[in-house]
Amino acid sequence: MVEVPWPNIQTKFEEGGARKVPLKEDYAFKDMWYLDTEQAEPIFKVQADIIKERQSKGIVDVGCRHGPVLKYLDHNFDYMGFDTSVEPIQLASEEWKDNVNIEFRCKSWYDIETFKVDFKVDTVIFSGVLLYRSDHFEFFEWVLKFYDAKHAIIQEPYHDQKHWDDNLILNTITNDLERYRNKYKCKETLLDCEIFAGKRLILDVTL
C-alpha cells in the first residue's frame, strides 16, 4: 500500500516496476482535503478569472467535485457539474440548492446522458480529469463538439513536478500538449503549488 498525494487515498500497486495512479471513482470528500487549502486557491481563482473574462453564460464542469470554482464567481450563468463520487456531489447539491441555475450530478463520463443539459454551453471545465484518460485529446474534442462550445479550461499537473517516488508515473497530459497547441489557441498559466509537490498548468483554450 502506497499513499499518494493526489488523491490522498491508499492505492494498491504491484511490487516492483513503475506505477501509475489509477482513477478512484468513488472517494470520500476528505480524501481530497488539499483542494480546499489556501495553497490550492489560486487554481480556482485563475479558472474563475478566465470565466469572467470570457463572460461565460453556460458552463459544464467535468469532474467538478463540489464545484470549488463557484466560490469565486457571481452566479449569473447556467452551470452543470458532475463527478463520479457520491459524497462531494451530495455536499455540493446541498450547498447550492437555492441556486436554480446550478446543478450537480453523480454520473459517469461514459454515459452520454450525463452530458445533456437544457442550456447553451459555451465553456467546459476539465479540472484534473483528462489525466485519467489515455484518449484525453479525443475525449476533449468529443465533449466540445457535443456542446458546440468554443471555449474550455483545462487544469492539470505539470510534467516536471517534484516526484515523491521515482517509480511512480505522474498522471499528466502536459507531455502531449502540442496536440492542443497545434489545433487551438491556448493561453497557459503555470502555478507553483507546493501542496501538489510542484506546478499546475491552467490552459485557456479557444476553438
Which residue ranges make up each domain of the chain?
A: 2-6+39-206
Q: Which CATH number fits domain 2-6+39-206: 3.40.50.150, 3.40.190.80, 3.50.50.60, 1.10.150.170?
A: 3.40.50.150
Report which secondary-structure segment, H or E, holds 145.
helix 136-147
Please tell me what DSSP assigns to residue 159.
T
pLDDT tens for the chain, 207 residues: list them: 334 444 444 445 455 555 555 556 656 667 777 788 888 899 999 999 999 999 999 999 999 999 999 999 999 999 999 999 999 999 999 999 999 999 999 999 999 999 999 999 999 999 989 998 989 999 999 999 999 999 999 999 888 766 555 566 667 899 899 999 999 999 999 998 877 777 899 999 999
Instruction: Name the grid cell of 42.
Output: 489560486
State how far the alpha carbon of 85 is from the alpha carbons of 48, 74, 157, 169, 183, in Å. Answer: 23, 26, 21, 24, 33
pTM of structure:
0.87
State how far the alpha carbon of 162 is from the alpha carbons of 1, 18, 99, 165, 198, in Å. Answer: 21, 16, 40, 9, 6
Nearest of 117, 87, 83, 82 to residue 101 by alpha carbon: 117
